[in-house]
Structures are given as C-alpha cells and as structure tokens.
Amino acid sequence: MKKVMMSTLFILLCIIVAGFFAVIGIKLATEHLMEQRYGYLKVDFNESAGTKIEDLKYGEDPLQTFDLYLPADKSKENYSFILYVHGGGFSGGDKGTIDAVRYGEYLASKGYVVASANYRLAAEGNGVTVRDMYDDLMIAVERSVEEAVTRGYHLTEMATTGGSAGGCLAMLVAYKEPDKLPIPIRFVFEETGPASFEPELWDMNTDDEKRYFVYSVTGKEFTAEEVGSEPYQAAIDDISVATMITEDSVPILLAYGPKDKIVNVKAKYPLLDALDEYGVEHTYIEFPNSGHGLSGDPDKTEEWFSVMEDYLSKYFENK
C-alpha cells in the first residue's frame, strides 16, 4: 500500500513538474514572440529620452488610470499626442503590457506625448460594455491633455492606436464622435481590431445566437422577435466602426491576419468597404501567414513599422 502511494505521489509530482515547465515554456515562447513583434520599438528609455508618470487617475474606478510618457525635449511650442489602448478581449489586458510600454517609450523618445490608458473591463455581472469602455477613453484623452499641459507640453493634435480590442477602441475614439475630442484627430494606426459587431460576421446565425451576442457586447437585451428591429440595429451600429466612416474621416493604417481565430476575419470587410466607398486614405497590410498575434510574417512587421513612421511624418503637423 505504501509502495502504491509513493508511486502515485511520484506520478503526481511528475505531472505537476511537467505542467509547471509547460506553463513556463508557453510564457517564454509568448515573451519571445512579443520581443520579436515589438523589437523595432525597443529603446533605452532614460532621462535623455523621456519620462514616464504612472497610474494617473481619470475616474473613481481602480481601472480608470493611465500612464503618461513625456519626451525629454520641452523646448517646442506645440506637441502631438498619441493614445495607446491595450487589448485583451474587452475583459483583460493592462496598460503595462510589453506592447503598450514599447509604444509609449519609443514614441516619447521621438518627441510625442503618449498616454497608455486602462479602462473598465467586462466581467460576469458587472454590466460593463464596449460603449462604457469608449466613454472611459474619451475622458482619459481629456485628462491626458490636461495633465500634459500642466507639465509644460501644449498638445494641438492627436492620433490613436492599439491592438485587438484596443484597436477597436482606438478606432471608436477616432471615428465615433471626433468633434468631442479636445484636440483634432489626425489619423489612426491599429492592428486586428474588430470593426463590426454584426452577428452574422461572427458566425452567429440563429435569432437566439444573434441576440445573445448583441447582449454580450452592448448590454442591451432583445427578444428573438426583436432581432432585426431598428433598436437592435442601432445597438450594433453604436459600437461598429464600419458604420461611422464618412468622407471626412481621418486616414488609417490597419493590419490583419487571415488565420485569426479570435477576431473573425470577416469583421474587417465592412470597414475596408466603407473606407473605399468614402475615399478615406488608408493602408491595409495583410499578414498572410499570421493569426491574431501577427507573428508569422516578419517582413510584414517591418513594413508595418515603416508605414507607421510615414504616417507619423505625413499627418502630424508638429515637427
């Protein structure tokens, strides 16, 4: 009996150890991919490059905070501002992830003021919706501009950026109500952000599937009979960037991977169609061998950052 118990404990220990190293392996592999993906942005962010002020508040909720990255050069009359929005499926993520930090440090070292903002996240029972997240970020922009001014950086223009859920929210800030922004928006650069929440584009085909999906992203309940009604469609359109594009919309750089298993690849097409229809300048970079993380195409990653630099130079007036 004792021998059997010892054998069982040994097997259990082996499973635990194997599991531990598997988790470590996945973590290291993920960090390696992130290092590869954002290696272009890596800088020595010291006093000669800029300053980072962490955990500034823009609301009462613990998640309503932002980090502000300020360039070392304070001699310019006017500065450009960039809002970075982290991803995480609208239910996770943080302003301190490697992508957020790398963008913040790199762009600040190039002379831009950057805010990396947290926002309230959706969790079971808390009722937070995509619209709530958008509202948070609009306040975060105002607070970031005010904070920058108090520290001697006068902001006159802005851009937004982010990936996945952050890409969606970055687009919403730029396109939903641009006239409500405290400074003019010039352009957007985003990666793999869902541009439409039409349920069919997410392979939701029955009325029950559609109404549950719409409820999950909007917080608004509809019966099966109300699917397709004006209020139902208005709830979808309220957070679908593709419906907000006009001939006055600002340019956008956007990237997607056709092997994406997280954001349905069909959700980008209404946006691309709208950009073409209204003649909005845009650059679409497809990562043909990549999924959601855009990690399978190093050449396209290089192209992405090259075009990003072009957009920064072309659309910002402050040099």
Q: How far apart are CA 118 and CA 197, in angstroms?
A: 22
Question: What pLDDT score was predicted for residue 35?
Answer: 67
Report in angstroms the alpha-carbon separations of 262 from 100, 173, 317. Answer: 20, 22, 36
Cβ–Cβ under 8 Å, residues 131 and 122: no
* Strand-pair partners of 258: none
**Residue 161 near residue 280, CB atoms below 8 Å:** no
Residue 37 confidence (pLDDT): 76
Cα–Cα distance between 224 and 208 in angstroms, integer?
6
Q: pTM (2 decimals)?
A: 0.89
Say which DSSP state 251 is in: P
Which amino acid appears at position 271 of this protein?
Answer: L
Angle at 168 (CA atoms; ends 197, 238), nearest 5 degrees: 50
pLDDT given for residue 190 in this prediction? 98
Tokens encoding 205 = 């085909």
- Beta-carbon count within 10 A of 154 CB: 14
Residues near 174 by beta carbon (within 8 Å), at least 6 away in sequence: 159, 160, 185, 187, 188, 250, 252
3 state SS of 104: helix
Any bridge partners for residue 85, and if so which?
Answer: 117, 162
pLDDT one digit per residue (tens) for the chain, 319 residues = 444 434 433 443 443 434 333 333 333 334 445 666 788 899 999 988 899 999 999 999 999 999 999 999 999 999 999 999 999 999 999 999 999 999 999 999 999 999 999 999 998 888 899 999 999 999 999 999 999 999 999 999 999 999 999 999 999 999 999 999 999 999 999 999 999 999 999 999 999 999 999 999 999 999 999 999 999 999 999 999 999 999 999 999 999 999 999 999 999 999 999 999 999 999 999 999 999 999 999 999 999 999 999 999 999 999 7
pLDDT at 223: 96
Residue 17 tokens read as: 């150890």
Tokens (6 digits) for 82: 């960039």
Would you say 58 and 140 are in contact if contact means Cβ atoms under 8 Å apart? Answer: yes
CATH of domain 47-197+239-315: 3.40.50.1820
* pLDDT, position 124: 81
Where exactly are the structural domains of the chain? 1-41, 47-197+239-315
Please give the pLDDT value at position 319: 78
E-strand stretches of 246-298: 252-256, 282-286
